[in-house]
Amino acid sequence: MLTVRGFVVDSITRRPLAYVTIVLSDKKSRQNVRSALSQEDGSFEIVAETDKTCRLLFTFTGYNDKTVALINQGTYLNVGIITLAAADTRLKEVTITGQRPVIKRELDRISYDVGADPESISLTTLDIMRKVPLLTVDAADNIKLKGSGNFKILINGKESALIAKSPSDVLRAMPATNVEKIEVITTPPSKYDAEGLAGIVNIITSKNISQGYNIGINARYNTVWGPGMNINGTLKQGKFGVAAFAGQNVHNKQTPGFGNSQIFNPDKSVLSQNGTNTLGGHHNYANLEISYEIDSLNLLTASLGLHNGINNQSSDQFSTTRDNDLALVRKYHLNSTAENNFEGLDVGLNYELGFKKDKNRLLTVSYKYNYAPNKQSTDNSFSDTVNFDQPPYRQYNNAGNREHTIQLDYVRPFKTLTIETGGKVILRNNFSIFQTSNYDKALNDYIINPAQTNDFRFFISLLLSDFENQGSLGRLGRCP
């Protein structure tokens, strides 16, 4: 095991450089072993399992690449302060022969080049997201952007029920080789409707299709989450192209314990609860994109996304309430079993029109349909009760949403700025049919409780328009 630490600074200002790509490679074979990024204070650390003599490659946009040979290499090495010199911008031609930078900083986003990460061949997309700046993934695989869970995850710039329902499950099952790059958009363009969000994470899948076809199969096993499998492929025949991937992951059953105690004032009674929760399930997903190039200025694309899965949960909870003299006041044992069946369907059509005079000028018309039903059922029963009279009961909820989106976008670049404008119509239909059934001893059956039964249906139509212009100084205005 080799650990290498150090700092990266500007050679003139001595200012720390953040997000510098640092690659540890075999000095003899030049094969990459591990990569990392420098932190905000310029510090970096690379930990790799290797006993070979290595070197460090430093790559950062706007600076000359630098190679540092590791001398007297052991298990730990501090290379100290590494200085990078700014590149000479007066050069008319640049030939790049070094390492591709993993991070690219743009006006409104940070891009992580997954293909430039040597570890991507063995990691999942969720593992890669742990390495992306501004993103954090905790031990329970919950994703946060700048410490907030209020953000959107897009696939190729589009929202998807595949990701919205269970992002961690999907990204954990998706190999990083399926992904070209991950964009963290901190100042989203108005067409993404990101008001009130911390930002947008846009996952761009691999679409570099050459004539012919290719197929890839990936399998993995995680000792905590269980097995997963993914198959992906591309096909290109003349003007016709297809890109697709599908997979499944299984969540092994886990039974963690829990326990807590609360003291209530003013009677000083004590509520104690302890027990176990058992979790398990599986998840299937598939995505297909078809494109047809009518000519060099006209492009038609269609996409289809499907996913479904089942989450099973059961719990045993023991609860006791005692007064301030520790005398038993109430006691019960709750046994609960729950099943969550979820599905998702995304259908999209897209037409792009280019212009002969300016290839960067673009008119796009798109339609998207999204349907995401979710059925939940819970069965609760009680035993070993003292001063607790609650009959068994069942709960059922059939919820979901249907959404139609029609969008028009127009991009017109000028010498010093780019104008983006467009409009969007959204038709939403949300529903939730919930009911509770209590057990009736006399009838020996469950009877629906009207007081705890709801049939909620909500329909809304939104008409949005956006205007945005970007220049050399950044975004100048936005009027939703």
Per-residue tens of pLDDT for the chain, all 480 residues = 788 899 999 988 889 998 888 888 888 877 888 888 888 889 999 888 777 788 888 988 888 889 888 876 677 888 899 999 988 655 555 555 555 678 887 777 888 888 888 777 778 888 888 888 888 888 778 888 888 878 888 887 777 766 766 687 778 767 787 788 899 888 777 666 655 577 888 888 876 555 678 887 878 787 777 888 888 888 888 888 888 888 888 888 888 899 999 988 888 889 999 999 998 888 888 889 899 988 888 889 999 988 888 999 999 999 999 988 889 999 999 999 999 998 889 999 999 998 888 877 889 999 999 998 999 999 999 999 999 988 999 999 999 989 999 999 888 888 778 788 888 888 989 999 999 999 998 899 999 999 999 988 887 766 666 655 554 333 333 333
Cα distance between residue 329 and residue 321, in whole Å:
5
Kindly report the pTM of this predicted structure. 0.65
Structure tokens at 291: 């494109």
CB 4 within 8 A of CB 22: no
∠101-107-111 over CA atoms, to 5°?
35
The whole-angstrom separation of Cα 305 and Cα 368 is 11
1: tokens are 């095991």
Six token digits for residue 405: 């989106």
> Domains in the chain, please, with CATH?
1-92 (2.60.40.1120), 212-478 (no CATH)
Q: How far apart are CA 225 and CA 132, in angstroms?
A: 22
In whole angstroms, what is the distance from residue 353 CA to residue 114 CA? 30
Q: Are the CB atoms for 42 and 8 separated by under 8 Å?
A: yes
DSSP state of 85: P
Pick from 422, 403, 293, 294: nearest CA to 365:
422
Of 266, 384, 391, the closest CA to residue 330 belongs to 384
Distance between CA atoms of residues 140 and 159, nearest Å: 24
